[in-house]
Amino acid sequence: MSGLFITLEGGDGAGKSTQAELLQAWLEARGHEVVRTREPGGTTLGVELRKLLLHGDDVDPRAEALLYAADRAQHIATIVRPALERGAVVVQDRYIDSSLAYQGAGRVLDTEDVRHLSEWATGGLQPRVTAILDIAPEDAAARRHARGGTADRLESEDSAFHDAVRAGFLAIAAADPDRCAVIDATLPVDEVHAEILARVAPHLPH
């Protein structure tokens, strides 16, 4: 594939959507086709799964992992792979690392089981660059409160869950430093953007 697959990861409230928007604008200004998407919810099927996963009733942890994998399989097959094959840059909010952190570390499912499920669902597709926006759960909660609205099913989990998720993301980054960059999400928005660009720019197609 000739395109570039970039993912943004981190806890809720870390600023992923803001950084995805800035990165998209920067790339498009330099002539790249950008496909900006997210999980769950990047496809018609994904929109329905997102409602169930984030705003529905309680979901068994194994069922939760399977639903995320189903969303991921459809998303990669219908949006991400076609974009990469035509040479686009894909900027995606959440991918397999989120399942490892939320369902693996947070829900205390076997991480390797979660990994194998997602890798099977996606045919083993891996991003070239992953920016993990790191923020303490209490700071993220304050951000979410400041922006208003109601917390979704995962955002409403207790502090122990969010601490485990954060630790899960940091462990992923430590195990794969060539792909993952941990970025302090409490820095000013433009500084976070600059750090992401420093990791992305060397991989851009010419």
Per-residue b or e along 112-136, where b marks 16 or more CB atoms closer than 10 Å to that residue's CB: eebeebbeebbeebebbbbbbbbbe
| Helices and strands (H and E) in the chain: how many | 9, 5
- 150-203 pLDDT, tens per residue? 666 676 777 888 999 999 999 999 999 999 999 999 999 999 999 999 999 999
- 61-104 pLDDT, tens per residue? 899 999 999 999 999 999 999 999 999 999 999 999 999 999 99
CATH of the domain at 31: 3.40.50.300
Query: Structural domain of residue 187, as residue ranges?
Result: 4-203
In angstroms, the Cα distances linking 197 to 130, 171, 172 are 11, 23, 21
- Tally the domains of the chain: 1
Residues in the chain: 206
35 alpha-carbon distance from chain centroid? 15
Judged by phi (left if over 0) then psi (alpha if -120 to 50, else beta), residue 19 lies in alpha
